[in-house]
Amino acid sequence: MIQDVAVIGGSTSGLLTASLLAQQGLNVSVFEASKELASPTRTLIVTHQLSNLIKPLNNSTVLNEIQRFELFANGRVAQISLRKPDLVIERSKLLNYLADNARQNGVKIRTSHRLLDVKPYGHHLTFKVAPNDSAAVKKASAQIIIGADGAFSRVARVCGWPRLKTVPLIQAVVKLPQDMPSDTTRVWFLPDDTPYFYWLIPHSPSEGVLGLIAVDMRRGRQSLERFIKRKGLTPSFFQSAPVPIYDRWFPIHRQIGRGDVYLVGDAAGHVKPTTVGGVVTGLRGALSVVDQILGKRNQQNMNILRRELYLHRLIRKVLNGFSQDDYVALFDQLKPSTVKTLGAYSRDESIKLIFHLCLRRPKLLSIGLQKLLGNIAA
């Protein structure tokens, strides 16, 4: 079994990469360890940038549109109206849509196949996969292998990349409070519970997901359950997943013998460290890998991604030092012009956002620099 490209992992970034390469006439196969591409269920929120990367974006993947954010910090409340709505999507629906597109472009998708090893062989790479329901080991070869197999990427491990640091994302499906519009996301900053934040994202007129990014799974689950109880809500079920934390930029391409190996998505650590969102950044990384494989010298997608991740890491370093009083001081700087700027640019346009914020409210830059320098000194 020989193909030009073998994509290991049926993730969003892996499926988009496979589909785009197949469109260009390459022989592409996807190998996914799970029995189904679309499990488990998980609700995600992404910016409108997703529709710029997946064209066309099937409306059936979008559960809801978010028009505004309500932010809370120790009694302070701020409301940010978005110029373009955020999209609430169901991960499984998006994966099924991308898989259908990939198949239409000629991609072969094999589920229940886990990767065992990768070795150089002549002008190709040989790799071994084992069907989950069989003890038989299959050997295949490809000129290019793409690791799209998540935070604990087997491709990265067998090809010599370092293991990524991860944090647990934990959320519960709850009924929305009676006073909460279904087009609004609520965010609470409680640094004693999490250096990130709590969120409540509606995915229907009556339900949403309430969650947080935790330092560890046990403490995070306890904090979430306490918060749910304080808000008078009842969880119907919980969702969780390990998410990689972007710490530094590293090359996502390695040559093994005469073959090429790439990483995309969570396997490459392309996850925003501010919000731990990786759908849009992962797809941007996929586009840049497609450009490299097709021999395009234009590195615009990779350069944009690298700058965005660097700035998000810098913001995260600042926020890691924030106390509750610091968030209150930050909220006090949210004048009408500042709020308008926050609504005009998405979380995937951080460079433009920071630039315009600093023009309108230089005090915000001062607060950020003070906290960053304090963290470095500590």
pLDDT tens digit sequence for 78-88: 999 999 999 99
pLDDT at 366 over 60: no
Burial of 5 (0-12, 13-18, 19+ CB in 10 A): buried
Top-confidence residue, 185 or 327: 185
As assigned by CATH, the class of the 2-41+92-164+246-312 domain is alpha beta
* Long-range pairs for 216-220: beta carbons < 8 A, 24 or more residues apart: 216/168, 217/168, 217/170, 220/168, 220/170, 220/194
In order of 18, 263, 307, 369, the CA distances from 148 in angstroms are 10, 6, 22, 36
pLDDT at 1: 45
pLDDT at 98 over 70: yes
Give one DSSP letter per residue of 246-312, joined into a string. Answer: --S----EEEETTEEEEE-GGGGT---TTT---HHHHHHHHHHHHHHHTT----HHHHHHHHHHHHH
- Report residue 369's pLDDT band, with 50, 70 and 90 as the boundaries: very low
Percent of the chain past pLDDT 70, that is, above it, reads 90
Can you tell me the distance from the alpha carbon of 141 to that of 118, in angstroms, rounded to the nearest whole number?
Answer: 9
**pLDDT, tens only, 16-48:** 999 999 999 999 999 999 988 876 778 889 999
Report the pLDDT averaged over residues 193-204.
95
pLDDT at 377: 39
Report the pLDDT averaged over residues 203-221.
94
Contact partners, residue 44, CB within 8 Å, separation at least 6: 88, 89, 90, 91, 277, 279
pLDDT at 131 over 90: no
- Report residue 211's pLDDT band, with 50, 70 and 90 as the boundaries: very high
The rounded mean pLDDT for the chain is 88
With beta carbons less than 8 A apart as the criterion, state whether 171 and 309 touch: no
- Report residue 372's pLDDT band, with 50, 70 and 90 as the boundaries: very low
Report the pLDDT averaged over residues 119-129.
87
Q: Residue 80: which of 341, 373, 359, 361 has the closest Cα?
A: 341
For residues 357-368, one letter each, b for 16 or more C-beta atoms within 10 angstroms of the residue's C-beta and e for the rest, the string is beeebeebeebb
* 184: Cα within 13 Å, side-chain hemisphere: 15
pLDDT at 357: 60
Report the pLDDT averaged over residues 319-342.
84
Domain spans, the chain: 2-41+92-164+246-312, 70-89+169-244, 314-377
**pLDDT, tens only, 46-64:** 999 999 999 888 888 999 9
Report the pLDDT averaged over residues 137-161.
94
